[in-house]
Amino acid sequence: MDIRELVRHMQGNPRDRGVARETGVDRRTVKQYRQWAAAHGLLTGPLPCVEDLQALVKDTLGTAPPPQNVSSVAPYRDIVTQLRREGVEMAAIYQRLQERGYLGSYSAVRRFIRESEPRAAEVTVRVERQPGEEAQVDFGYAGRLIDALTGELCKAWAFVMTLSWSRHQYVEFVFNQRVETWLELHRRAFEFFGGVPHRLVIDNLKAAVVRASY
């Protein structure tokens, strides 16, 4: 985990224990870097780029940024591997792990899967959004779940809407992919959040963008 991501978690969570649980970084390390971040006014407002933060750490602490830690997802490796073999999407895997007591973050699950699966080299640029500006939507296969209405084991899909700024999420499992179900899922997500974001980004449709007109 890079220092910028660690400080971002600190901005959103005032408790060292909570940050440690979300990131997998030792709580004592979190405490050390929170004190450092507070002294440099980094716990509020926009953050510098990761290179500038690393340079600041080196100049002011005389140590390297936090070392890589054992992933919080590691104890669930076998479950994650099996679900990926079945074609289950990352967001659905995150929800399934939570059902089994996982307390880490979605980012940790996403990072664990990407690091454990071979992939082509890629460049990722973090894009900051304003509150209410954007929500990301994932809709993918979630494996087979028991339908509470019929008691049968059926194919299921996970709908996940994530607010880009706060990372708050709405998640619901359904047993069909009909258009009316898709629209109803959006309506319930908007009701859950208490509003409609300016823009929706459909993550698993190759960056297709739908502008809300409500």
Query: Residue 213: its pLDDT value, please?
Result: 38
Looking at the structure, tell me whether residues 53 and 79 fall in a common domain: no
Average pLDDT, integer, range 56-63:
73
Query: Residue 65: its pLDDT value, please?
Result: 47
pLDDT at 79 over 50: yes
- Tens digits of residue pLDDT in 131-188: 889 999 998 888 888 888 888 889 999 999 999 888 899 999 999 999 999 999 999 9
Let me know if residue 121 belongs to a domain: no
Average pLDDT, integer, range 209-214:
40
Helix (H) or strand (E) holding 133, with range, is none
On average, the pLDDT of the chain sits at: 81
Query: Residue 127: its pLDDT value, please?
Result: 60
Using CA atoms of 166, 105, 79, 178 in order, give the dihedral in degrees to the nearest 10.
0
Above pLDDT 70, what percent of the chain?
85
30/205: higher pLDDT: 30
Residue with tokens 């993918």: 140
pLDDT at 23 over 80: no
Let me know if residue 69 belongs to a domain: no
Query: Residue 62: its pLDDT value, please?
Result: 58
Maximum CA extent, the chain: 63
Let me know if residue 125 belongs to a domain: no
Average pLDDT, integer, range 72-78:
85
Average pLDDT, integer, range 27-44:
87
Query: Residue 95: its pLDDT value, please?
Result: 87
Range of the domain at 190: 134-211
Q: How many domains does the chain have?
A: 3
Residue 28 in contact with residue 3, Cβ under 8 Å? Answer: no
> What is the DSSP annotation of 84-116?
HHTT--HHHHHHHHHHTT--S-HHHHHHHHHHH
Let me know if residue 67 belongs to a domain: no
Looking at the structure, tell me whether residues 157 and 190 fall in a common domain: yes
Let me know if residue 65 belongs to a domain: no
Query: Residue 184: its pLDDT value, please?
Result: 95
Per-residue tokens: 189: 């997500």
Looking at the structure, tell me whether residues 112 and 142 fall in a common domain: no
Per-residue tokens: 176: 């069909």
Query: Residue 166: its pLDDT value, please?
Result: 87
pLDDT at 128 over 50: yes
Looking at the structure, tell me whether residues 143 and 206 fall in a common domain: yes
Average pLDDT, integer, range 106-123:
74
- Tens digits of residue pLDDT in 174-201: 999 999 999 999 999 999 999 999 999 8
Which residues pair with residue 137 across a beta bridge? 161, 202
CA angle 203/204/206 to nearest 5° reads 85
